[in-house]
Copies of this chain bind each other. A is one copy, B any other.
Amino acid sequence: MKRTERIIALTEILLSHPNELLTLGFFAERFQTAKSTISEDLAAIKESLCIARKGYLETIPGAAGGIKYTPEIGREEAQKFLDSLAQTLSASDRILPGGFLYMADILYDPHISKKLGLLFASIFRKRNPEAVVTIETKGIPLALMTADALGVPAVVVGHGNKVTEGSSVSINYISGSSERIQTMSLTRKALRTGKRVLVIDDFIKAGGTAKGIMSLMQEFDAQVVGLGILMEDAVWHTSRLVNDYHALLQLEIDTATGNTSVRANRL
């Protein structure tokens, strides 16, 4: 096998196994070549990915060591992406009754949610979350893609009190904007106790849902290490039930004219 072919195959394996520790021995056997040769190849890949700002290759030394690819998005690329997304979402026909914005097409476009997931992962990776928690339904694509970029599982809290999945924990919470009492629940099986969790959701108004998830996480002895939100509603800015969160976009609706404006927050 020629060096070029091997480098291409190596690059493909690394990129398609993000966050996984792969040993030099694994590569040496796969490509029937010396570990020192693999090391040289990996150094070239590391440099090239670094220059392109596409994440980094980390070398873990020792007997249990190996190489791990961590995907990242560069700040400049991310900001450009958010600016363009804000523009798309500012279209006047997106406004829905109740001060919500139609975003389902954006969320369920894997091309977009994948980039948003990578962005959330880049922001929160240093806090070492062990799971990404969201509430059904529209938070799911963001949570799944964030979990993918972090290399951890996603956990989906349900609305209401379903009992089809065995023993579960339910809590009541007050939706801050509608002031109604609602229920959310999570199967015991879905999350082992004592984990570090990152909470991801698509929208925050008064923050009642986010606060509900925090309470539910307490029941699982989980430590919430971050709260990432795609869109915050500017109206509730001063009276929110949770304040320690990171929102990517901000929605402002002029109630008199009905005009909508979406801005990308600075990263």
Contact = CB atoms under 8 A, between A and B. Distances in A.
Contact of A166 (B102, B156, B164): B102
A8 to B, nearest CB: 4
Nearest to A19: B111
Contact of A113 (B3, B102, B144): B144
A110 interface: yes
A196 B267 CA distance: 39
A197 interface: no
Contact of A16 (B8, B15, B110, B137): B15
Contacts of A219: none
Contacts of A34: none
Given A140-B141, A153-B105, A110 B8 contact: no
A109 B140 CA distance: 12
A44 interface: yes
B153 A108 contact: yes
Nearest to A100: B164
Contact of A12 (B15, B109, B145): B15
A126 interface: no
- How many copies of the chain does the oligomer comprise? 2
A151 B102 CA distance: 22
Contact of A158 (B8, B48, B102, B137): B137
Interface string A109-148: 1110110000000000000000000001100110011011
Closest 10 CB pairs of A and B: A110-B148, A8-B48, A108-B154, A11-B11, A5-B48, A109-B153, A136-B137, A140-B140, A110-B147, A4-B44
Among A15, A108, A110, A164: residue with most chain B CB under 10 A: A110
Nearest to A55: B12
Interface string A153-181: 11110100000111000000000000000
Among A49, A144, A187, max chain B CB count under 10 A is at A144
A156 B139 CA distance: 13
B144 A12 contact: no
Contact of A97 (B11, B144, B164): B164
Point out which of A113, A140, A164 has the most chain B C-beta atoms below 10 A from its C-beta.
Answer: A140
B9 A12 contact: no
Contacts of A9: 48, 51-52
A235 interface: no
A200 B16 CA distance: 23
A47 interface: yes
Contacts of A44: 4-5, 8
